Amino acid sequence: MTHSERSGGLKAWLTSDTPASRFQARAINIWFAWRDLLRNPLAVIGIVIIAALILMAVFAPLIATDPPNRQDLAARLLAPGVDGHLLGTDELGRDIWSRIVYGSRVTLQVVALVALTAPIFGLVVGTVAGTLGGWTDRVLMRITDIFLAFPRLILALAFVAALGPGIVNAIFAIALTAWPPYARVARAETLTVRRADYIAAARLQGAGTLRIITGHIMPMCLSSVIIRVTLDMAGIILTAAGLGFLGLGAQPPLAEWGAMISTGRQYLLSHWWVATMPGLAILIVSLGFNLLGDSLRDVLDPRGGQK
């Protein structure tokens, strides 16, 4: 960083036309992408929703008005706003608002763990298959096709049935069923760049296959994978909620939105809020991830956003 950039502060460093290092160049790209993202009102709405989910999960004890599992049969099935219950109570007299707040922790846990496992595994499979080609490509892609042949929820149900119900097994099952699309995306990106001039130059300089995959090809695939991850979060949340709805995800008395809908569906006609409120929570969070994903696609992949 030059003296003029230091005097101009961090903003001058992030807007420099002559980056002094690879780190600065990447920081400049991130800065401009973030600036373009904030110019999109829909992206801002998505960011606000996701930030609210994170804050709700972190500060759940402060935001919740009651312990999530405290039962009060004398106050069962109260309408929203009655006796200080913001969203009403369920069939056991538990405060629905508090259970939704604590349920955000389960949702965030599912999103975080799946996002840290499935995309990375899919990225490795896709880049290796696209780079090596031949029988390696055929074997890895046929395995990918087998996973893609089954609907995600059905395949997750099969894994959970084999592993047993529980939130940990549900997350593991969702991760096992979520990686194939990322492998396909990474392979497609790899096929477009593996014969590029800079890859050939790296080989001439003595770079091995592992170095080329990790240092040159994977970074080129990251933007497409990140976009796909953000767009897939809504489906992952719905899959987790579906497993909870069927009793194969989070187990009672743990507050989980899908399980809350399952127990409240029998009261839907007479006490609509019991199932509707957690359903709205799933809808809002899924909408937030979809809005952010669409906006990221426009920023990181303008050609894809124009299709």
| pLDDT tens readout for residues 240-260 | 888 888 888 888 888 889 989
- The pLDDT score that the predictor gives to residue 301 is 63
Q: Which residues fall within 8 angstroms of residue 234, CB to CB, at 6 or more apart?
A: 285, 286, 287, 289, 290
- The pLDDT score that the predictor gives to residue 225 is 87
Count the domains in the chain. Answer: 1
DSSP 3-state assignment of 181? helix
* Average pLDDT of the segment spanning 30-53: 87
Give Cα separations from 112 to 106, 151, 204, 299 (angstroms): 10, 22, 40, 23
Whether residue 2 is contained in a domain is answered as no
Q: Provide the residue range defining the domain that includes 190.
A: 29-305
Whether residue 16 is contained in a domain is answered as no
Report how far residue 199's alpha carbon sits from residue 208's, in angstroms, rounded to the nearest whole number. 11
Report how far residue 104's alpha carbon sits from residue 89's, in angstroms, rounded to the nearest whole number. 18
Whether residue 107 is contained in a domain is answered as yes
Amino acid, single-letter form, for residue 299? V
Please give the model's pTM, rounded to 2 decimal places. 0.83
* Average pLDDT of the segment spanning 253-268: 88
Whether residue 64 is contained in a domain is answered as yes
Chain segment 68-97, per-residue pLDDT in tens: 989 988 888 989 988 888 999 999 999 999
Whether residue 232 is contained in a domain is answered as yes
Give Cα separations from 149 to 9, 155, 174 (angstroms): 53, 10, 15
Whether residue 290 is contained in a domain is answered as yes
Q: Which residues fall within 8 angstroms of residue 122, CB to CB, at 6 or more apart?
A: 178, 179, 180, 181, 182, 183, 184, 185, 186, 225
Looking up residue 46, the CATH number of its domain turns out to be: 1.10.3720.10
- The pLDDT score that the predictor gives to residue 105 is 92
Phi, psi for 164 (deg, rounded to 5): 105, 150
- The pLDDT score that the predictor gives to residue 23 is 74
Chain segment 171-186, per-residue pLDDT in tens: 888 988 899 999 999 9
Whether residue 80 is contained in a domain is answered as yes
Whether residue 18 is contained in a domain is answered as no
Chain segment 181-225, per-residue pLDDT in tens: 999 999 998 988 888 887 888 888 877 788 888 888 888 888 888
